[in-house]
Amino acid sequence: MYSQLLLICGVFAFSEGVDLSSPEVFDAQFYLNNYPDLHIRHTSEAAKAHWLSTGIAQGRQGCGSFHSKQYVTRYPDLTSAFHTDYTSVIQHYLTNGIHEHRLGYIDGGYEGRWTISNGKDLFISASKRMGGAIDSLVWNNKQMINMYDHGRELQMACNSDTYTECYNPTEAGGRDDSNHATTHTQIQWVRAHSNLLESEVHPAFWLRPGTHEKRAVHNSCSRGSPSLTHQSTYSYPFWKRVEIGVHGMPNAVEFMSNFTLAGDWPQDLRYIQMEAPTGYMPGEFTTAYRFNPKTLSLESHGSSLEPPVLSTQDGQYAMGVYSPPGQDSDTFMYYGVSLRLGGTSFTGSTNKWNVVYRKRRFTSGVHHQIYKTYICVGTLNMVTTCLHKLIQEIPHV
């Protein structure tokens, strides 16, 4: 049980019993993946132990929806009362701040992290470390994006269906950025306010010049194939606009992608493929469905043309994706799903979905490809209802 908050002689005081590792302030996977300097075992137990013994006092961020430093800085009465006593800051949030509908982050961004929310139970944030890509989406205190390295996140990316990763601008960063604290993606600007996040970046190439593909795949960029790039960062911008709470649903997110296509793309590619966007989810989201737009119902099997839904086995947490027909593509648009990627480790295990559009190579000039996708989060039933409404209200663009 949480302790009671008292105000004694103008000073906040707390009784014992506050759970400083409760899900409102701490998520083990977020904590481990957000801090590559933590040389501890990647288990929930080790993460919790470090958080309680060291992380809180250091003012580290324990989850995507709350940060003690931002919380105490946002509210002058807390700044006066607690200063850098982050244990008391967290106690205040758990015993009083949540019930007062206070927010645990600074609107507009703080120390390389930008957070938006619906003011209640859905929080989205992007980080400087990941090149402005979204590395945290929290609903009902559940982290729903895997941020193990610079290749995951909720992000934009593009490649060709001929050379895939050998020429592959990627918003969050390149392969060799790995899980380091920096990225070769260059942020131009990021803006975050209330429920709206926008950014423009020059994305890193997945394979840097002089490196080679390591995967054994069956295309023109298989194991040993060289990178086709001459620089580490793509010369043209990716721009995105993300809004929480659309079409009257606080659990629906609109994600608008704007790809600038130009430069020295390989001459013999067939199509430039744009992931608009792709989402990497934690390992427990292993149950996959397709939402049939004709019957407006979930099915355990379906076509790549039907919106995907990934869920935990108990259906308490799920994410679904819908991109309205009629958007600019030279072939059919499709949805991809890949389960059980990244091994079985607590932090690395990943499940992926993506929304893929294709355009033939442009022979000259600079071209902007803009796509709109909707993401529904919540329980499996909530996501089903959300997709149902979106498909009925936006049958095409």
Residue 103 domain-assigned (yes or no): no
Instruction: State whether 188 and 282 are in the same domain.
Output: yes
| Single pTM value for the model | 0.95
Token pair belonging to 332: 């059919």
Residue 3 pLDDT > 50, yes or no?
A: no
* 288 and 327 within one domain: yes
Number of other CB atoms surrounding residue 171 within 10 Å: 31
Query: CA-to-CA distance for 357 and 276, rounded, in angstroms?
Result: 7
Residues with Cβ within 8 Å of 352's Cβ and at least 6 positions away in sequence, in order, are 278, 279, 280, 281, 336, 337, 338, 339, 341
- pLDDT for 69: 98
Alpha-carbon gap, residue 308 to 278, rounded angstroms:
12
Region 123-143 average pLDDT = 98
Tell me the pLDDT band of 361, cut-offs 50, 70 and 90: confident
Residues 230 and 134 reside in one and the same domain: yes
- Residue 264 and residue 191 in one domain: yes
CA–CA separation, 207 and 261 (whole Å): 18
Same domain? For 188 and 43 the reply is no
Confidence of residue 16 (pLDDT cuts 50, 70, 90): low
42, part of any domain? yes
Would 108 be classed as within a structural domain? Answer: no
Total domains in the fold of the chain: 2
- C-alpha pair distances (Å), 310 with each of 277, 289, 315, 336, 346: 15, 6, 9, 11, 18
Same domain? For 175 and 59 the reply is no
| Residue where one domain finishes, among candidates 97, 131, 149 | 97
pLDDT of 257-300, one tens digit each? 999 999 999 988 999 999 999 999 999 999 999 999 999 999 99
- Report, as an integer, the average pLDDT of 44-68: 98
In a domain, 321, yes or no: yes
Question: Residue 267: which domain range?
Answer: 113-393
* Domain annotation covers residue 62: yes
